[in-house]
Structure 1
């Protein structure tokens, strides 16, 4: 059983892993409570990120459809109502994951641990030596540390996108002469790859997958990848069992 704290409310939940699932589902039952159903390969931070986004809805369901509120003094109700009606909705805050030592992250299909070092440094730094090593200023708060590590991981992956995607494309071109000459990358929502103005663009988060899977995704954009690769089923298995939202 896991717990997530939001204000003075606690959400208790269980995690159920379903190998062939491709998304994350939150299920609420009277007997079972809150169950988060996830694909194989996701870590606890992926789950907590979903719980964070759905926390208000989950609490509402647990309270019989009523949004939990704090008791207000009767004399303050009208003033409170007026303030609420005239208040401009605040812009939603960006979600930041929480990171801890020994968290695991996938790179080219393999899992690597995270080591967090607090030191007397001015700028954070990410190095990779058989594991991710994040060095952050010792003066940073927990929020600053989480935001900093998330940025470091993102920059680290993106810094390797051109090299690895070009390597995968080169392999594909050996089997398919009509493959594009180059490949680009960017942040894509809910898709692995796309063609933009005649250019092949990959989601940089594909670096989580094995190189053979990246080759399959590239080929699928311009040919029948299932016919191109004898081991096509193995190549796309990772896509069926994992999510690109790793952190």
Structure 2
């Protein structure tokens, strides 16, 4: 359960993270419950911002009227947005979920065994083995950590593979790049010129990853568009978000 303080009224709300959707829905139930239905991958700050933007509408649906507050500075308003019950947002995983990797969807199988540590393997599907003693929250938190580590571990190999391929086709290709969690932003360049890719790009086909990287290199070297099928490679980014789970 999450909470947002609107004036003198507290809005309590729950969150349902659903795979393979892009739109966000705010539901106000007759019994006064507020529920967000969101794509997997949104962080807690995203959720707070959504509720803050919709607070007036939510209160109208609930028939509530908060006391008018005095004018507040932008800093104070920002503080209000984050004035919530401390609770980490963790996606929900179900056996049979589809997990995206390099442009394809792979099934996630969850198995509970009498063991103390969780582990994850990948061979044509994701197989997660978790302790039978874990409750739902522990299982979701454990799977989130396992999958995140799995993607980040593979980011080095796959992004380096793209670098080697581009080095044969264009000049000015750096020897190394970095990767971070950039949410839904595909890439970024640091002040020192270092190219940073979103590790979540591993959800995209290799051809699309190459396009993103080649364009960042071209910005620095002034090279022309490298790929004749650039529009096709770009289309994946237009049709999809970089939501992993």
TM-score normalized by structure 1? 0.69
Alignment deviations for residues 92-139 of structure 1 (CA, whole Å, 9 cap, x no partner): 322100000111111011100100000011110000111111100000
Residue 239 (str. 1) matches residue 237 (str. 2):
yes
- In the alignment, structure 2 segments of 5+ residues that lack a partner are 4-10, 29-33, 66-82
Of 144, 152, 156 in structure 2, the residue corresponding to residue 158 of structure 1 is 152
**Residue 187 of structure 1 corresponds to which residue in structure 2?**
181
Residue 122 (str. 1) matches residue 116 (str. 2):
yes
Cα drift, residue 65 of structure 1: 4.9
Residue pair 2:102, 2:203 contacting (<8 A) in 1 also? yes
The answer to which of 171-180 and 133-142 deviates more is: 171-180
- In the alignment, structure 1 segments of 5+ residues that lack a partner are 1-5, 18-22, 39-43, 70-88
Residue pair 2:183, 2:200 contacting (<8 A) in 1 also? no
TM-score normalized by structure 2? 0.69
**Residue 100 of structure 2 corresponds to which residue in structure 1?**
106
Residue pair 1:59, 1:67 contacting (<8 A) in 2 also? no
Q: What is the distance in 1 between the residues matched to 2:111 and 2:64?
A: 39
Change (3 A) 1:11 1:210: closer
- The alignment's C-alpha RMSD in Å is 4.0
User: Secondary structure of the residue that 1:126 maps to in structure 2?
Assistant: strand
**Residue 24 of structure 1 corresponds to which residue in structure 2?**
23
**Residue 166 of structure 2 corresponds to which residue in structure 1?**
172
User: Secondary structure of the residue that 1:111 maps to in structure 2?
Assistant: strand
Alignment deviations for residues 33-72 of structure 1 (CA, whole Å, 9 cap, x no partner): x9x999xxxxx6469x999765687686355254779xxx
Residue 219 (str. 1) matches residue 214 (str. 2):
yes
Change (3 A) 1:101 1:57: farther
**Residue 129 of structure 2 corresponds to which residue in structure 1?**
135
Instruction: Work out the number of aligned pairs and report it.
Output: 207
Change (3 A) 1:67 1:161: farther
Q: What is the distance in 2 between the residues matched to 1:235 and 1:170?
A: 19
Q: What is the distance in 1 between the residues matched to 2:115 and 2:87?
A: 28
Q: What is the distance in 1 between the residues matched to 2:121 and 2:52?
A: 37
